Amino acid sequence: MNKKNQATEVTAPLPPREGHGGGSSPFPNEGQGRGSLFNIHGNVTVITGGTGVLGRAIAQYLALEGAHVVILGRKAEVGQQIVTTVREALAQSASDGSIDFMKTDVLNRNLVQQNCDEILRRFGRIDTLLNAAGGNMSGATIPPDKTFFDLDPQQFQTVLDLNLTGTVIPTQVFLRPMAEQGRGVIINFSSMAAFRPMTRVCGYAAAKAGISNFTAYMATECARKFGEGIRVNAIAPGFFITEQNRALLTNPDGSYTERGRDVIRQTPFGRMGQPEELCGTIHYLMSDASRFVTGTVAVVDGGFNVFAM
């Protein structure tokens, strides 16, 4: 069996990564071969919600770029399938990146802490946290045939918890080793719904608006108290077909629903996004190329957010 298909076993903690840490050069990785401005080789990256459509695409891209990726999620069977697929891709590449899966619940702080402790045991550090966990519930939405009075407050709270608190808890856990090592990157997942109060998705929009605000708050909090080596940003995907929104945007035959057509009409590119189209922005925000960038929400939406009639 090719060693790239085997479970990741690191016998000793990895050495500290260079960059993001001062020195006289504005680009601390300059002139170091693989250590270029956009280098993420050896980056120990944790992705919550990594078993989703977007998370798995990002995980495979980063592993092929040489990162050590650990995806966290609730669905162990799906997680292991993703690991198998990515390891097969790694075996056919020149990359020495890796991927692993750990079962978690982002609302269970003790379990997230156990995940963190195990990752530190294996790798000795954590460089990047991608908070991609989230979701929606029907009771937290208001379809056209219902009104605000039909909103289920309990499901509304659950959606807030899953998206917003499910970002806060992993940040609290994984930020600690970053603060201790003096460097690290946190990338949260916001949404188009954070910029506009879109119809239907009342709870989800409120949660994502909270994530954008939390991102801005944490950028200042971390820079002022832990130094410029800690950066916190967010990415706001436009419309991508995922398991969460597939039934809302597409019909069983694959054609667009009325809402799907509305999205296309308001997207200058005239199409939905592809999961892989998030990877470049994620890569940039992880790397030294964005070392003076913090507190921003990077929009990847085909122009949806700037469209006007």
Q: Catalytic residue at 61? A: no
- 158, β-bridge pairs: none
- Pairing verdict, β 230-237 and 128-131: unpaired
Q: Write out the E strands in the chain.
A: 44-48, 68-73, 98-103, 128-131, 184-189, 230-237, 297-300
Active-site choice (204, 217, 256, 284): 204
Strand order in the sheet with 128-131: 98-103, 68-73, 44-48, 128-131, 184-189, 230-237, 297-300
What's the one-letter identity of residue 154? Answer: Q
Token digits for 201? Answer: 């998705």
281-302 residues labelled b (16+ CB within 10 A) or e (exposed): bbbbbbbbbbbeebbbbbbbbb
Q: Which active-site residues does the annotation give? A: 204
